[in-house]
Amino acid sequence: MPSTRKRTTKDGQEYFEIRVSMGRGKTYLSRRWYVPAGWSKKAIDRELAKQAAEFERQCKAGEVVSRKEKRQQEAQEAAEAAKIKTVRQYSERIFMPAKTVTMSENSRASFQSALNTWIYPAIGDKPMPDVSPADLSALLLDIQAQGRAHSTVIKSYTVLHTLFKMAYLADMIHRNPMDKVVRPVPRKDEIRETEAQALTLEELRAVLEALEAEPLKWRALVHLLIDTGIRRGECCGLKWEDVDLDAQEVTIRRNLCYTPQKGIYLDTPKSGKVRVVDIGEETAALLEDLRGQSKGEFVFTQENGEPMHPQSPTRYLKKLSGKCGVPDLHPHKLRHTFASIAITAGADVASVSEALGHSDKAVTLRMYTHADAESRKRAAQIFRDAIKKSGEDPQQNEKKTGQDV
């Protein structure tokens, strides 16, 4: 039962001190309740009883602690924080638990892989304050020196940038060493490979011709990838309820993902937004035939009716690559081809960006607006035609000017 007693501050303001005993040998807990001006004794007594009952409930529930206990808690937290000294300790106890709350399972697994494979072996046991920009630059250069893909280097750079920024903002370190680390650029051979990502029209025709002899499921799937530029996980995550063959539209609502830790699972599209994409007549006809053989709610399934593994399209296209003579065929190359051909043929970037599901059309511009030889010639000719038109028949223009005067 809480006790109350009336008190007055040095400046004459009245308040009641509410005390709750926490048992023999323990410090009691107290709280002040200031009396509002003009209240009657009856109103004060009624409100004081409510305040005392609520304070007692909070104390019993452990929601209120004494100053001594608070100091002990703070000391314990400081002691725990002091134990976190190395990059690995900070990452495992603070960084990754915090990131897991805000990122998808696929991203979490990607971050963890970069940490385990590259970051921990190089600087995992190094104290956080001792990590220098030179250490981090050397780590990234070492990954490049081993011939790893540029995307692998950038992933490690992103993880390091995020980790040290979080540590700096939390006052774990007094400076952020990543502020002085330059973002890695691709090797020269990687730049050439990037420029050749999209298929040529001849290669695309060879793929479509080879598909004619393939099973219906794969013909429909590859046509859909080519026709829309959607991601492989979005394709594998399609359900028949998302397909409107009359309108020739497909709604992208989910993304089928896989990680070794979690297995196959459904997630939202990468942009987090539902979008509608158009399909052509041939793709619609293939999907209609496939629906007649459907074994479940998903469009593309395994023999048991379960959704297709999201890595299956990659494995299939690798086999198809040998049959059609087009090297390095994979889902992202078809996505890249859709965007490149559409933009080269004159489609506006905003519409292509919407179809691809990019959150920002700047991403589309950065990734897909490398023009081929034909489009470069066309752009140059448009420029020359514009110049020619503006300076056309200068003598005739002078005559017109004289007449007007």
The CATH classification number of 84-193 equals 1.10.150.130
Q: Strand 249-252 vs strand 275-278: parallel, antiparallel, or unpaired?
A: antiparallel
Give 352-390 as a DSSP string. HHHHHT-SSHHHHHHHH----HHHHHHHHHHHHHHHHHH
Superfamily of the domain at 201-368: Intergrase catalytic core (1.10.443.10)
- Residue 15, burial from CB neighbour count under 10 angstroms (0-12, 13-18, 19+): middle
Q: What is the DSSP letter of 214?
A: S
The tokens for 390 are 């503006």
Alpha-carbon distance of 337 to 166, in angstroms, equals 38
- Cβ burial 173-200 (10 Å sphere, 16+ → b, else e): beebbbeebeebebeeebeeeeeebbbe
pLDDT of the chain, 405 residues: tens digit per residue: 789 999 998 888 889 999 988 877 777 888 899 988 889 999 999 999 999 999 989 888 888 877 777 777 777 766 566 667 899 999 998 999 998 888 888 888 899 999 999 999 999 999 999 999 999 999 999 999 998 989 999 999 999 999 999 999 988 899 999 999 999 988 777 655 444 478 888 999 999 999 999 999 999 999 999 999 899 999 999 999 999 999 999 999 999 988 887 888 888 887 778 999 999 999 999 999 999 988 789 999 988 888 999 999 999 999 999 999 999 899 989 988 888 888 777 777 778 788 888 766 666 766 655 544 555 566 667 767 776 766 555 444 544 444 443
Helix (H) or strand (E) holding 30: strand 29-34
Q: Which of 243, 340, 383 is nearest to 300 (CA)?
A: 243
Domain ranges in the chain are: 3-67, 84-193, 201-368
- Residue 105 tokens read as 């399972």
Helix or strand or coil: residue 25?
A: coil
Please, are residues 290 and 215 in contact by the beta-carbon 8 Å criterion? no
**With contact defined as beta carbons under 8 Å apart, do 332 and 360 qualify?**
no
Q: How far apart are CA 217 and CA 214, in angstroms?
A: 8
Angle between helices 216-228 and 281-291 (to 10 degrees): 140
Backbone dihedral angles phi then psi of residue 263, each to the nearest 5 degrees: 80, -150
Phi/psi region, residue 229 (left: phi>0; alpha: psi -120 to 50; beta: rest), is: left
Closest to 250 measured CA to CA, from 197, 291, 212, 196: 291
